[in-house]
Chain A
Amino acid sequence: MAVVAPPEVLLLEDDLQELRALERVVRDASLEPVTASGPAQALSRLDHHDPLLAVIDLDMSRAPAAERRVGVHDVLRRLHLHHLNCIPLVYSAGVETIDDQARVYEAHPHALFQSKRHGLPRLLQRIEGVLGGRVGDLALRRGVVVHVPSGRTTNHRVAVTLLAARRANRSVVLRESDARAARRLGEWLDEVGSNVLVRALGGRHYQLATREPDAAG
């Protein structure tokens, strides 16, 4: 199996100590952190990176003024418009009320929420829930998709993206070249005898599903 870079996670946090702590959390999950200490830096990172997950703090009061010429909601909007398959996880003290969450929703309707009040251990659990959980007999472990019964693995980006999206109850939008990769993943799943299949939903949307739909997730 060719060695490929692990999936990337964008970390937007203005508190540098917390940013370092988040970085450790992400590395511990064998994922590659892409750090930003302010919204402007985050937008710049997104020019060159296509993260699988974005962990985002809403409060940027500690970021330098130059960083705040754009806002966190601009970052969320960019993710929604141009990084369709990135899962935003808003990790913030400011997501406790429905109005807080609604403001985020207007920038990115698929954002997940994790309150800072519950601390980093809970955030790690949440990240593992999305990036480390199982779909049927497949598991995502350290950035690699594993067919658990046979132990066979695939680390193609599309496979990882599809599995993470399924964990977040989302579909994935694929370009034509990636759609071919999705078809190859489907063939691989058949070959290893997996109970998971790649389902084309139409309009370039794809989702993993179990062959027994009631057992999905």
Chain B
Amino acid sequence: MRQAALRTLLVVSERPHPWAFLRDRLDPDLVTVSWARPAEARHTSAPWMLAGAGADPAGLSAFRDRLLCWRWVGDAPGGLPVPPLPCRDWHELAAAAERALAVRLAGLRLAPGCGLVLPDGSYVSRAAGLEALLAAHPQGLPVGAPTARLRAAADRIAGLLRRHRLPLRVAWGGGRLVLAEDAEDGGGRAA
């Protein structure tokens, strides 16, 4: 499965209305909203955020071991790769997505289209995992058990943070991967 070229919020629902609602509400400069029915979701590129509804988790197992933000409207079905962050309705989900797009931590923020803007204004590309992790701050990303693939993804993020001398670190804790400021007391270091 390839990563979507632009930062994408994938709506997984039987009906297209949540897609249209989010498309019209979220800043198109920051995020592209796409849509798939549950059975078709496995054929899409990996998104930055997956927003689902309904009782059908089939097709979403393809996103297992991927670092992305999970949101679910209503009761989440069993069998999802990770427990998503629940939302009462699509309005609450839209507000959560807006907050996620606006996260700024140690001067790091999401760039338009995709990638990240560093505190000095320079741009970092090909950082999809870090984009998701930043957007999930402070709760972090639910990841379940740390598999080899997830560890590798966390290592890549930790490498990016070191390379750009960002005062941030990746920490595991309670089934979550968290981006924490160096001064904070988080879980164990990923790398």
**In angstroms, how far is the closest chain B Cβ from the Cβ of A106?**
9
CA distance A118 to B123 in the complex (A): 40
Determine if A105 and B16 form an interchain contact, defined as CB atoms under 8 angstroms apart. yes
The answer to whether the Cβ of B117 comes within 8 Å of any Cβ in the partner chain is yes
Contact with A along B15-50 (1 / 0, CB 8 A): 011011000000011001011000000000000000
B167 within 8 A of partner (CB): no
CB distance from A134 to the nearest CB of B (A): 14
Asked if A101 is at the interface of the complex by the 8 Å CB criterion, the answer is yes
Contact A213 B19 (CB under 8 A): no
Q: Which chain A residues lie closer than 8 Å to B19 at the CB level?
A: 102, 105
Between-chain CB contacts (< 8 Å), 5 pairs: A99-B16, A105-B16, A109-B35, A201-B115, A205-B5
Q: Could you list which residues of chain B lie within 8 angstroms of chain A, going by C-beta atoms?
A: 2-3, 5-6, 16-17, 19-20, 28-29, 32, 34-35, 111-115, 117, 121, 123, 125-126
Chain A interface mostly: mixed
- CB-CB < 8 A to A209: which residues of B? 111-113, 123
Which residue from A98, A105, A202, A213 sits with its C-beta under 8 Å from B125?
A202
Number of interface residues of A (CB under 8 A): 23
B35–A199 CB distance below 8 A = no
Please indicate the chain B residues that have their CB under 8 angstroms from the CB of A217 in the complex: 29, 112
Which residues on B sit within 8 Å (CB–CB) of A199? 113, 115, 123, 125
Residues of A within 8 A of B3 (CB): 202
Complex Cα distance, B112 from A207, in Å, reads 10
Establish whether residues A203 and B35, one from each chain, have CB atoms under 8 Å apart when the complex forms.
no
Q: Contact between A200 and B5 (Cβ–Cβ < 8 Å)?
A: no
